[in-house]
Amino acid sequence: MHRLSRRSLSAALRAGGSRYRNAAAPISSSDLLNQPAGENDAKVRCYSAFALERHGSMRTVKPFNARGGLFLGSRHESTSAASDKQGAVAEKYEYQAEVSRLMDLIVNSLYSNKEVFLRELISNASDALDKLRFLGVTEPELLKDAVDLDIRIQTDKDNGIITIIDTGIGMTRQELVDCLGTIAQSGTAKFLKALKDSKDAGADSNLIGQFGVGFYSAFLVSERVEVSTKSPKSDKQYVWEGEANSSTYSIREEIDPAKHIPRGTRLTLYLKRDDKGFAHPERIEKLVKNYSQFVSFPIYTWQEKGYTKEVEVDDDQAEAKADGQDEPAEKKKKTKTVVEKYWDWDLTNETQPIWLRNPKEVTTEEYNEFYKKTFNEYLEPLASSHFTTEGEVEFRSVLYVPSVSPMGKDDIINAKTKNIRLYVKRVFISSDFDGELFPRYLSFVKGVVDSNDLPLNVSREILQESRIVRIMRKRLVRKAFEMIQGIALSDNREDYEKFWENFGKYLKIGCIEDRENHKRLAPLLRFFSSQSDEEMISLDEYVENMKPDQKEIYYIASDSVASAKNTPFLEKLLEKDLEVLFLVDPIDEVAIQNLKSYKEKDFVDISKEDLDLGDKNEDQEKEMKQEFGPTCDWIKKRLGDKVASVQISNRLSSSPCVLVTGKFGWSANMERLMKAQSVGDTSSLAFMKSRRVFEINPNHPIIRTLNEASKNSPDDEEALRAIDLLYDAALVSSGFTPDNPAELGGKIYGMMSMALSGKWGASDGFQQYANPQTQIPETVEAEVVEPAQVSSQK
């Protein structure tokens, strides 16, 4: 037996729909869903539910039909038995849906924001106008009414009614059944498929719809919707009516001449009680400008306007009398200015989509004006980029670099800044992205992106992750870098200085988060240096200034330029005229550590051990170790676990000692920053603290004196106290924080007392402070003095 395919079955139903409808008995929707399978299930059942006849006019009430995999009340079984290995018969069923439940899901679960209903309905109106314009090329009679192609929105805030009128293609009775009575069937999608199958497949079309559920977004805010439509292909005008909590709708012919329209569709929304705020003209105007500002057809909204005029007013009669006259004089007339209010249509979408134009035809003033209007800015941008991407993914975009950073500092750590406005065929979709189109560190870039190829969810609110989105992201990021690089290479150096002041931290975050773009980020970085402490330099400028035999890029991290300039780590490098970068921003050190190298030259922290300045002399080092090796061991014994080792330094020239850190741990600057974290766990700091190496300068008089002390009197208390004080001084000068500042202060005071003892003839009292033992007060028993003794002394 031949089995009917679904397509053949649908065609048969359309061809003989009336015949099947007349032959079927009326039943309820529950009967459709609960009908048991019988012996005659192999035959196709077709029911016409809710048929209702009235005298004078026919009013047909039909259930919503769910298409695209969700069918109502019909089951089709294969007439040929499909057998498995055991010979069992497999029966095939079609999915069914409860229409009321499906409508509830569409209205209440599909959209996250109620205000998108206007975007969806305006998009439908735009599609209707686009269809008419396209068909009018081959069928001029469709445009015989000579009505302008536009969209008009009128509101009645007192009664909570919104009316949307378009002069598009309209719908016939059958199209109302197919498009509005069938859920998930898109008339626009069918039209586009017909275009693709025809010889006009290459025609440029701006049609928006694709899912077939946008119309039902009207029920987000409406308790009842009325659609009055007139197609130029039909002489009659029909009215479709549906309610939010009903699974049925009705279609009737419009017989009231006062409600006739020449062509198009009039959509009337009767708002719910809680949503009547949408009927305010100002609210509608705001929604149109946000979502449908760039629709290709003019959108007019019904707005209250006013004009000023002069009106005459009479003075007081008593003032009108002349002095000493009994007869009244003529009245003096004065005028005042009043505002006369009236209602009229106002063009709402005046701004044109500048990204659709040829970049060569757009002036800088037009780009700046578009930027100010779109993003509500008052300052001109630092740079703009207008480009079109073709090939595997096609989209148009205009990007801007703002001239100032946002007021809130949270934007650095929050990627959801709403700076990128995504459009699909000029209809605003969303600006709420979490790194899909731009990484977090480029979230300051503002712009618009318009594409026809984006994968959206059915509500057109969420950008789905896909290969297309990843390709778009890469191209947008590349264009953003080209735009920033253009600012850096411009003749006006102040422009990039302004950019770096506002957005330098963003790029440093990029060095941490985006390894793929390190080569693009590194040339944009700016730092102070030992040879340029007032004007920042780039890494390219640093490399150009490097010595011929210099193989590494040196840097020091500190809290300020002043402290970096005076650090003891710089002494030897300054003697050799080697430039050192000053990393004074808290994020600088982490950013540089993630870069690791630039142009095959490694970054080296001069505050860490094993610093190689390229001037090693093995014979001299061997002699120094033989002479000062025992001194290093003696100092290490005194300091104990405070340091990992004591070594002879090759980085000092004027300082006696310095405290350096290990290669793979925190520097002194990073340790200070981590301690200052408000949510930092101090118990975990011990695991990240770097090993500390105490380096001594063998050429300094203090170290030479201690070298003699280690040989002659290693147990001398003054020498041991000098080691302690030397370590504490190195701790501070190297950027570390002393564990006990009060103890360090006591040691300094004791050394000062010893140094000042006998000076300027004031030797009394210095000895007790010179001895550290007297710094800690002891408990002394108080002596009781009898009163008699006191009186005798007097």
Comparing 4-18, 316-330, 671-685, the range with the smallest average pLDDT is 4-18
Q: Which residues contact 458 (CB under 8 A, 6 or more apart)?
A: 110, 211, 213
If one counts every other C-beta atom within 10 angstroms of the C-beta of residue 393, the result is: 18
- The crossing angle, in degrees rounded to 10, of helices 717-733 and 701-712 is 150
- The crossing angle, in degrees rounded to 10, of helices 467-488 and 493-513 is 140
Residue with the bigger pLDDT between 699 and 454: it is: 699
What's the whole-number mean pLDDT along residues 227-241? 92
Judged against a pLDDT cut of 50, whether residue 22 lies above it is answered with no
Judged against a pLDDT cut of 60, whether residue 124 lies above it is answered with yes
Q: CA dihedral defined by 67, 68, 72, 77, rounded to 10 degrees?
A: 130
Residue 64 confidence (pLDDT): 52
Residue 459 confidence (pLDDT): 46
What's the whole-number mean pLDDT along residues 245-264? 89
pLDDT digits (tens, 9 = 90+) for 500-552: 999 999 999 999 999 999 999 999 999 999 999 899 999 999 999 999 889 99
Residue 127 confidence (pLDDT): 87
For the chain, the straight-line distance linking the first and the last C-alpha, in angstroms and rounded, comes to 139
φ, ψ of residue 657 in degrees (nearest 5)? -160, 170
Residue 144 confidence (pLDDT): 79
Task: Give the rounded percent of residues in the chain with a pLDDT score beyond 70.
Answer: 72
pLDDT-derived band at 696, boundaries 50, 70, 90 = very high
| Residue recorded with tokens 């040691």 | 747
Judged against a pLDDT cut of 90, whether residue 579 lies above it is answered with yes
Residue 315 confidence (pLDDT): 58
Residue 55 confidence (pLDDT): 41
Residue 184 confidence (pLDDT): 55
Q: What is the mean pLDDT of the chain?
A: 78
725/718 Cα distance (integer angstroms):
10
DSSP assignment letter at 22: H
523/536 Cα distance (integer angstroms):
13
Residue 89 confidence (pLDDT): 83
Judged against a pLDDT cut of 80, whether residue 149 lies above it is answered with yes
Judged against a pLDDT cut of 60, whether residue 398 lies above it is answered with yes
439/441 Cα distance (integer angstroms):
6
681 is written with which tokens? 């766990």
* Element spanning 536, H or E: strand 532-538
**8 A C-beta contact, residue 263 and residue 129:** no
pLDDT-derived band at 330, boundaries 50, 70, 90 = low
Residue with the bigger pLDDT between 317 and 473: it is: 473
What's the whole-number mean pLDDT along residues 610-615? 82
203/94 Cα distance (integer angstroms):
37
What's the whole-number mean pLDDT along residues 193-217? 54
- Given 3-state DSSP classes, what are the helix, strand and coil percentages for the chain, each rounded to the nearest 5? 40, 20, 40
What's the whole-number mean pLDDT along residues 72-96? 58
What's the whole-number mean pLDDT along residues 12-31? 40
728/16 Cα distance (integer angstroms):
100
92/110 Cα distance (integer angstroms):
30
Residue 542 confidence (pLDDT): 95
pLDDT digits (tens, 9 = 90+) for 478-497: 999 999 999 999 888 899 99
DSSP assignment letter at 608: B
pLDDT digits (tens, 9 = 90+) for 350-393: 878 899 889 999 999 999 999 998 898 989 999 999 999 888 78
Distance of CA 408 to the CA centre of its chain: 14
The DSSP string of 697-735 is: -TTSHHHHHHHHHHHH-TT-HHHHHHHHHHHHHHHHHTT
pLDDT-derived band at 143, boundaries 50, 70, 90 = confident
The DSSP string of 51-115 is: --B-SSSB-EEEE-EE-SS-B-S-----SSPEE-TT-PEEP----B--HHHHHHHHHHHS-S-TT
Length of the chain: 794
708/600 Cα distance (integer angstroms):
46
**8 A C-beta contact, residue 193 and residue 207:** no
Task: Give the rounded percent of residues in the chain with a pLDDT score beyond 90.
Answer: 37
Residue 762 confidence (pLDDT): 57
The DSSP string of 297-333 is: S-EEEEEEEEEEEEEEEEPPHHHHSPTT-SSPPPPPE
If one counts every other C-beta atom within 10 angstroms of the C-beta of residue 594, the result is: 17
pLDDT digits (tens, 9 = 90+) for 744-775: 888 888 878 877 777 776 555 555 555 544 44
271/115 Cα distance (integer angstroms):
13
**8 A C-beta contact, residue 53 and residue 26:** no
pLDDT-derived band at 4, boundaries 50, 70, 90 = very low
Judged against a pLDDT cut of 90, whether residue 199 lies above it is answered with no
What's the whole-number mean pLDDT along residues 660-681? 78
Task: For 651-689, give one letter per residue: b (16+ CB within 10 A) or e.
Answer: bbeebbbbbbbbeeebbbbbbbbbeeeeeeeeeeeeeee
What's the whole-number mean pLDDT along residues 705-726? 90
3-state secondary structure 195-213: HHHCCCCCCCCCCCCCCCC
Residue 56 confidence (pLDDT): 40
pLDDT digits (tens, 9 = 90+) for 160-178: 999 999 999 999 998 888 8
Judged against a pLDDT cut of 60, whether residue 79 lies above it is answered with no
Residue 239 confidence (pLDDT): 94
Q: Which of 424, 461, 391 is nearest to 111 (CA)?
A: 461
Residue 386 confidence (pLDDT): 95
pLDDT-derived band at 69, boundaries 50, 70, 90 = very low
Judged against a pLDDT cut of 80, whether residue 562 lies above it is answered with yes
pLDDT digits (tens, 9 = 90+) for 294-314: 888 999 999 988 888 888 776
* Residue 101 identity: R
291/309 Cα distance (integer angstroms):
36
Residue 656 confidence (pLDDT): 93
| Residue recorded with tokens 């290669």 | 663
Q: Which of 225, 215, 269 is nearest to 245 (CA)?
A: 225
| Residue recorded with tokens 């590494």 | 552
Residue 680 confidence (pLDDT): 56
Judged against a pLDDT cut of 50, whether residue 216 lies above it is answered with yes
Residue 340 confidence (pLDDT): 85
